[in-house]
């Protein structure tokens, strides 16, 4: 057997290539947008791609699965319940995909998403038991996947994780994320074991009511450009440009700069509406980072734009994305709203006038086919 993990440091995602050294057949799981890395390895190793598997419809990064499968004539596999607008091979719970002497056994593990699957890797010549499981965004290292991305269910996540914990302790766990917005408590390691998580994952030590309550409350912010990315992965838009592809150096300013903003400047608060209503800096208008790509026309290109969030991390990524899209008069506010509060300055609670124009369209259903001019 051949196995390789690919880590994407920009979005905290992991993808995998599994191959049989005997048959030279290979599978890629949760392909990143940059499919060249898999092409290169397949070519170097002389592998033939048989399956491209997405464990679920991703919401925080654009999948390269369709492109990869199309270029190699491989089966594009998702769970049979996946709600997408393109043809795919629907796989079922308990189904085994042969890969030379290997077997990829599908486990339906809904919770983070209703269609989420995990993939057990079995090498029968060595053992009838699985040696590893690719868990997508179900079981993470030190956490579990959040259920609030749309269609998720905390109670279903509890049952799915319990099913995974029924595997032997030695089974190696390779998740779809090692950091990022899909789990609040990920420790940053890219792999673990069932036994280690059973003993030391704090979420897994909760009873069912506490587990459901913990996952259902105080959820993190939705990822950058989530609306556009999910629509793209469902085949209802074509917005691969919504991915942040680099980490450019951008202009920054402290909160003192907000006291003397130019009259034509826009102060853009990219937190969730609930956070914004809880307290925002005067003059700030709300445009959640998850909706940025679908509402890019609301952000003026001919005026200074200052971007603020709670602590300065989300706003930094938004500023970098706007820079990527050709905005040059954009500034990240270091320290964010939290620093403004700590300085004893006034915040405004509730909705405020001057919110950006909300563009209601069919974007997420059929449009959004190209990047706005920049």
Q: Which of 306, 314, 302 is nearest to 225 (CA)?
A: 314
262 plus 125 within the same structural domain: no
pLDDT at 185 over 80: no
**Mind telling me the catalytic residues?**
309
- Percentage of the chain lying above the pLDDT 70 cut: 91
Alpha-carbon distance 32 to 180, whole Å?
Answer: 15
In a domain, 315, yes or no: yes
Q: Which of 117, 40, 48 is nearest to 77 (CA)?
A: 117
Side-by-side strand order, sheet with 251-253: 251-253, 330-333, 305-308, 266-269, 284-286
Q: State mean pLDDT over 243-248.
A: 89
pLDDT tens for each residue of 318-338: 999 999 999 999 999 999 999
CA 58 from centre of chain = 6
Q: Is residue 62 assigned to a domain?
A: yes
Q: Does 205 map to a domain?
A: yes
| Residue 374, domain member (yes or no) | no
Q: What band does 358 get if pLDDT is binned at 50, 70 and 90? A: very low
Boundary (domain end) residue, out of 178, 197, 216:
216
Q: What is the pTM of this model?
A: 0.90
Domains contained in the chain, number: 2
Q: Find, among 271, 264, 261, the residue nearest to 311 by Cα.
A: 271
**Does residue 370 sit within a domain?**
no
Looking at residue 33, which CATH number applies to its domain? 3.60.15.10
Distance CA 31, CA 264 (A): 43
- Statement to judge: residues 159 and 249 lie in one domain: no
Q: Which residue range(s) make up the domain with 323?
A: 243-342
**For residue 242, is pLDDT > 80?**
yes
């Amino acid at each position: 057997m051949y196995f390789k993990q690919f880590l994407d440091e920009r979005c905290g995602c992991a993808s995998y290539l599994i191959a049989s050294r005997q048959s030279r057949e290979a599978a890629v799981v949760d392909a990143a947008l940059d499919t060249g890395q898999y092409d290169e390895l397949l070519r170097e190793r002389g592998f033939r791609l048989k399956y491209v598997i997405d464990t679920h419809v991703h919401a925080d990064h654009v999948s390269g699965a369709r492109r990869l499968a199309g270029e190699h004539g491989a089966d594009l596999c998702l769970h049979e319940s996946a709600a997408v607008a393109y043809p795919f091979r629907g796989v079922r719970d308990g189904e085994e995909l042969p890969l030379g002497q290997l077997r990829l056994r599908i486990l339906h593990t809904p919770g983070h998403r209703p269609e989420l699957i995990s993939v057990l890797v079995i090498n029968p010549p060595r053992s009838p038991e699985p040696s590893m499981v690719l868990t997508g965004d179900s079981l993470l290292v030190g956490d579990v996947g959040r259920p609030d991305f749309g269609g998720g269910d905390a109670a279903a996540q509890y049952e799915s994780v319990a099913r995974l914990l029924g595997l032997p302790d030695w089974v190696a766990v390779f998740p779809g994320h090692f950091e990022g917005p899909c789990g609040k408590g990920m420790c940053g390691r890219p792999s673990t074991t069932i036994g280690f998580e059973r003993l030391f994952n704090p979420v897994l030590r909760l009873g069912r009511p506490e587990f459901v309550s913990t996952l259902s409350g105080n959820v993190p912010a939705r990822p950058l450009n989530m609306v556009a990315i999910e629509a793209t992965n469902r085949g209802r838009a074509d917005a691969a440009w919504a991915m942040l592809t680099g980490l450019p150096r951008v202009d920054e300013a402290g909160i003192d700069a907000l006291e003397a903003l130019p009259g034509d400047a826009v102060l853009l608060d990219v937190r969730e509406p609930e956070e914004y209503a809880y307290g925002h800096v005067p003059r700030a208008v709300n445009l959640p980072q998850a909706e940025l790509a679908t509402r890019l026309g609301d952000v003026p290109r001919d005026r200074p734009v200052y971007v603020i969030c709670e602590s300065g991390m989300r706003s930094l990524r938004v500023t970098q994305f706007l820079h990527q899209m050709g905005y040059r008069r954009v500034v990240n506010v270091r320290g964010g709203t939290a620093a403004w509060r700590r300085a004893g300055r006034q915040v405004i609670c509730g909705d405020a006038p001057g919110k950006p124009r909300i563009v209601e369209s069919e974007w997420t259903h059929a449009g959004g086919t190209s990047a706005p001019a920049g």
